[in-house]
């Protein structure tokens, strides 16, 4: 009684084809070589009675050129993004310890530094700045006199109206502009020392200031 051999003899050609199919990575994209191969095949197999018109050929080439251009542009943007991130990191390292002028009303009085700030003056007018402690009491009034339109800078050395030295800490900065009998609240900027920086995220480069606040680098009006 004969026996049936269940082992199938290996076929080198079949094995090679199977391995090629198994190891070939699937791709959903059409590269330049594949596109040209398809174009050549299309030209070879076209109907001689109805050959492809030049317009059709040029249209397909233009479509491929557009796709290729978009891919190249995306690659260029990726390279640019990496370069910008490197520049941000370099910029961040040089910002620590520096002081910046940013929009705000809370400034920090530090020993040996004072409290610097500025007032945004919409039109030529008299400018008065008030410094308030955490209890809401005015400790110093600074009369900057008549200032032209623009940015009026000031520095408070920490001496109060009574002549005493104010303790270090956070103080609120308020400003008004007066023209004739009309008085208007004005926007203020405060000078703060940069304690550290944060990179990444959707907001880009962020500065962590000595007063505990965080501002975007794009909000910085002056570095000193």
Length of the chain: 224
Task: Give the pLDDT of residue 14.
Answer: 43
For the beta carbon of residue 3, count every other beta carbon within 10 angstroms: 5
Class of the CATH domain delimited by 103-190: mainly beta
Cα–Cα distance measured from residue 172 to residue 136, given in angstroms and rounded to the nearest whole number: 8
Q: What is the pLDDT of residues 134-170, one digit of tens each?
A: 999 999 999 999 999 999 999 999 999 999 999 999 9
Per-residue pLDDT at 48: 62
pLDDT grade for 46, boundaries at 50, 70 and 90 = low
pLDDT confidence bin for 213, thresholds 50/70/90: confident
Non-local (6+) Cβ contacts of 188 within 8 A are 103, 104, 105, 117, 118, 119, 120, 129, 173, 174, 175
DSSP state of 217: G
User: What's the pTM?
Assistant: 0.60
Q: What confidence tens digit (pLDDT) does each residue in 19-37 have? A: 444 445 455 555 556 666 7
Comparing 134 with 14, which gets the higher pLDDT? 134
pLDDT at residue 13, rounded to an integer: 46
4: burial class by Cβ within 10 Å (0-12, 13-18, 19+)?
Answer: exposed
Per-domain residue ranges of the chain: 103-190
Query: Of 57 and 215, which is predicted with more confidence?
Result: 215
**Whole-number pLDDT of residue 121:** 96
Residue 44 CB contacts under 8 Å (≥ 6 apart), including other chains: none
Quote the tokens at residue 56: 């059709």
pLDDT above 70 as % of the chain: 58
Mean pLDDT over 71-99 rounds to 70
Q: What number is the average pLDDT over the span 10-15?
A: 48
Least confident of 64-68, 103-107, 188-192: 64-68
Q: 215 is written with which tokens? A: 């501002």
Whole-number Å distance between alpha carbons of 194 and 197: 8
pLDDT at 22: 47
pLDDT for 212: 83
The mean of the pLDDT values for the chain is: 78
Q: What are 98-132's pLDDT values in tens digits?
A: 999 999 999 999 888 899 999 999 999 999 999 99
Read off the pLDDT of each residue in 53-70 and give the average, rounded to a whole number.
61
């Amino acid at each position: 009684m004969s026996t049936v051999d269940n082992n199938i003899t290996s076929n080198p050609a079949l094995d090679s084809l199977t391995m090629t199919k198994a190891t070939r990575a699937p791709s959903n994209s059409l590269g330049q070589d594949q596109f040209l191969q398809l174009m050549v095949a299309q030209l070879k197999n076209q109907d001689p009675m109805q050959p492809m018109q030049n317009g059709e050929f040029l249209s397909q080439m233009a479509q491929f050129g557009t796709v290729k251009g978009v891919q190249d542009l995306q690659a260029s943007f990726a390279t640019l993004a990496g370069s910008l991130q490197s520049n941000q990191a370099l910029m961040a390292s040089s910002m620590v310890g520096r002081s910046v002028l940013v929009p705000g009303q809370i400034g920090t009085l530090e020993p040996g530094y004072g409290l610097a700030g500025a007032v945004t003056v919409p039109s030529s007018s008299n400018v008065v700045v008030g410094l308030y402690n955490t209890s809401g009491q005015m400790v110093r009034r600074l009369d900057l006199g008549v200032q032209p339109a623009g940015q009026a800078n000031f520095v408070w050395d920490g001496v109060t109206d009574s002549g005493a030295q104010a303790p270090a800490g956070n103080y609120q900065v308020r400003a008004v502009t007066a023209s004739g009998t009309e008085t208007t609240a004005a926007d203020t900027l405060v000078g703060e020392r940069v304690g550290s920086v944060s990179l990444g995220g959707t907001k880009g480069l962020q500065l962590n200031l000595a007063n505990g606040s965080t501002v975007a680098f794009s909000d910085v009006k002056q570095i000193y």
